[in-house]
Amino acid sequence: MTLAASNRSPILRVAMSRDDLMMRLGVVLFAVVLLVIVGLPLWSLLAKAFEDRDGKFVGLANYVSYFSTPALFDSALNSLHVAAVCTLIVVPLAFFYAYALTRTVLPVRWLFQGISLIPIFAPSLLPGLALVYLFGNQGFFKGALGGPIYGFDGIVIAQIFYCFPHATLILVTALTTADARLYEAADALGASKLRVFFTVTLPGAKYGLISAALVVFTMVITDFGIAKVIGGNFNVLATDVYKQVIGQQNFSMGAVVGMVLLAPAAIAFLVDRVVQRKQVALLTARAVPLIPKPKLGRDLFFTAFCTVVAAGILVILGMAAWGSLIKYWPYNLSLTLANYDFTNFDASGWDSYFNSVEMAVGAAVFGTTLMFVGAWLNEKTREFYLMRGIVQFLAFLPMAVPGLVLGLGYIFFFNAPNNPLNFLYATMGILVVNTVAHFYTVGHLTATTALKQIDPEFESVSASLKVPVWRTFGRVTAPICLPAILDIAIYLFVNGMTTVSSVIFLYSSDTKLASVAAVNIEESGATAVAAALCIVIVITSAAVKTLHVLADRFLLGRLQAWRRR
């Protein structure tokens, strides 16, 4: 009797607790926020590309005219060409550098690691400026390249500097996760060093290599500052967007170019997702970390290699710093601080610098809160799969969207007269929101990873003890994740200081940022002043990062005694 009855018993619907209800509300709210700061601006951009200058729907007309204008279409090819060449150079370079950092015994390893990160703290403008000093029409080594630096060569060299740390970081991670036991097995089988490299090391770093290649490719295609400074007449997609929007005020065509720019970035992103998904299975094995043993010949070779690369980075940074201190290049090489008196060159003077700091702090505070709480809501809410899926998608979207494209979307969305959020336009607020949105994915991923690493049963325990879930968030989850929270905040601060591409359309005279001011000043020909501004940015973000590292090492250890065994 019971069997027959049970088969017909209805599917059970479980009542929601107050916690469940609140968390679901939170997820919905969070989804709305992401929709406003990511989804809708992109949607506006998409729509704009189908309108003429007066806002009338013209179907594909803009796209037709884009592809039938050779000058515009050539830029797309140029972009692909530069990106491909940079990827082919940066990835091997970064791979050997990362290999040296993780698999050989380097003297002052920390220094080499630190130097490789320097470019992260600089606006992309900086390598461009340094190259102008080195190889420009009045440069030290002009003609050394057998042609003018402006154009393809300049862009490639500057991009190598700019992309190098990002590729290195990814590859260091990929090489650190190697399993020492594989090497022992290969050794025991008597495989030659070269064979071990090709059969164990390279395949082990395969996903890292693919990921690094995609990141470099996307960065080069979407970066704006370098092409702007050193591109000369060599047009690329990113400069085209800028010219269409700022130069010709042709927003529709700007939107079309933006969409074209979006395509390779989005494809690269999708490929990366597929690759990453495969990697997860690989990492679940219980690996034994590999600790390199000294070996003279190899260590000497890689020390030399790293020294050359590090020197290259330092020369570019040093050149920009030196240039910023010189009275009148190249005629009067005596040193001066006059170039740091920005009031003489730009109406906003030092204000732009303080705007930048204000914006970066704002982005760090607002962004970290949003990212961590949002990731927590999305991770810990029970069931509610559809909404959580939507949130996950929206949180991943910014990774695939170049800054320029997002910035354009912001103009169209927030500047629309009928948008109730219109008041945000041309305020510091919109710059903060835009920066948070632009860098959303990495912060979200960092938070999610940290949350996945803590015991999934904390919430179950709280529920059984009748403790509301937000209390466990405040007393347990957030404190445990403090290192990740700080990482996100610093990441946002540094990127807020250096970003150019997405905010270049959004500032007003009161809210001009240092990185944007540097672009404007460079445009007016005052290279030394632009370099000075870049150096101030580097010093600020590097100082904050150094503080973070020190705090992490000394302060956090003391505050979080529970981590010690």
Q: Determine which residue in the list 111, 471, 508, 543 makes contact with another protein, applying CB under 8 A.
A: 471
Q: Binding of another protein at residue 11 (CB under 8 A)?
A: yes
Q: Which of residues 352 and 381 has its CB atom nearest to another protein in the complex?
A: 381
Cβ partners under 8 Å of residue 445, min gap 6: none
Q: Least distance in Å: CB of 389 to another protein?
A: 17
Q: Following CA atoms 373, 378, 379, 380 in sequence, which dihedral angle do they give, to the nearest 10 degrees?
A: 80
Amino acid (1-letter code) at residue 536: V
Q: Least distance in Å: CB of 478 to another protein?
A: 10
Gap between the Cα atoms of 415 and 429, Å rounded: 14
Q: Which of residues 18 and 56 has its CB atom nearest to another protein in the complex?
A: 18
Query: Collapsing DSSP states into helix, strand and coil, what is residue 349?
Result: coil
59: left (phi over 0), alpha (psi -120 to 50) or beta: left
Q: Binding of another protein at residue 238 (CB under 8 A)?
A: no
Stretch that binds another protein, among 81-89, 180-188, 444-452, 453-461 (CB under 8 A): 453-461
Q: Binding of another protein at residue 281 (CB under 8 A)?
A: no
Q: Least distance in Å: CB of 382 to another protein?
A: 9
Residues in 13-42 that interact with another protein by CB under 8 A:
13-20
**Contact assessment for residue 447 and residue 370, using Cβ atoms and an 8 Å cutoff:** no
Q: Which of residues 2 and 233 has its CB atom nearest to another protein in the complex?
A: 2
Q: Least distance in Å: CB of 551 to another protein?
A: 18
Provide, for the chain, the percentages of residues in helix, strand and coil under a 3-state DSSP scheme, each rounded to the nearest 5: 75, 0, 25
Q: Binding of another protein at residue 563 (CB under 8 A)?
A: yes
Q: Binding of another protein at residue 1 (CB under 8 A)?
A: no
Q: Determine which residue in the list 68, 334, 418, 464 makes contact with another protein, applying CB under 8 A.
A: 464
**Contact assessment for residue 309 and residue 97, using Cβ atoms and an 8 Å cutoff:** yes
Q: Determine which residue in the list 56, 466, 553, 558 makes contact with another protein, applying CB under 8 A.
A: 466
Amino acid (1-letter code) at residue 25: L
Q: Determine which residue in the list 248, 276, 453, 460 makes contact with another protein, applying CB under 8 A.
A: 460
Which of 397, 357, 445, 180 is CA-nearest to residue 286?
180
Which of 102, 402, 93, 74 is CA-nearest to residue 223?
402
Q: Least distance in Å: CB of 19 to another protein?
A: 6
Q: Least distance in Å: CB of 381 to another protein?
A: 13
Backbone angles phi, psi at 236, to 5 degrees: -130, 170
Tokens standing for residue 428: 């510091």
CA atoms within 13 A on the CB side of 51: 14
Total of residues contacting another protein (CB under 8 A): 39
Q: Least distance in Å: CB of 284 to another protein?
A: 17
**Contact assessment for residue 508 and residue 426, using Cβ atoms and an 8 Å cutoff:** yes
Q: Binding of another protein at residue 386 (CB under 8 A)?
A: no
Site string for another protein, 160-179 (x = CB under 8 A): --------------------
Q: Determine which residue in the list 43, 396, 458, 470 makes contact with another protein, applying CB under 8 A.
A: 458
Residues in 472-491 that interact with another protein by CB under 8 A:
475-476, 479-480
Q: Binding of another protein at residue 461 (CB under 8 A)?
A: yes
Gap between the Cα atoms of 402 and 398, Å rounded: 8
Q: Least distance in Å: CB of 278 to another protein?
A: 23
Q: Least distance in Å: CB of 399 to another protein?
A: 31
Tokens standing for residue 187: 């050794």
Measure CA 512 to chain center.
21
Q: How distant, in Å, are the alpha carbons of 119, 147, 313, 361, 420 from that of 142?
A: 24, 8, 19, 40, 54
Which of 372, 441, 365 is CA-nearest to residue 403?
441
Q: Least distance in Å: CB of 494 to another protein?
A: 28
Stretch that binds another protein, among 3-11, 97-105, 332-340, 348-356 (CB under 8 A): 3-11
In SS3 terms, 211-233 reads as HHHHHHHHHHHHCCHHHHHHCCC
Q: Binding of another protein at residue 192 (CB under 8 A)?
A: no
Query: Collapsing DSSP states into helix, strand and coil, what is residue 224?
Result: coil
Residues that bind another protein (CB under 8 A): 2-3, 5-6, 9-20, 455, 457-458, 460-468, 471, 475-476, 479-480, 560-565
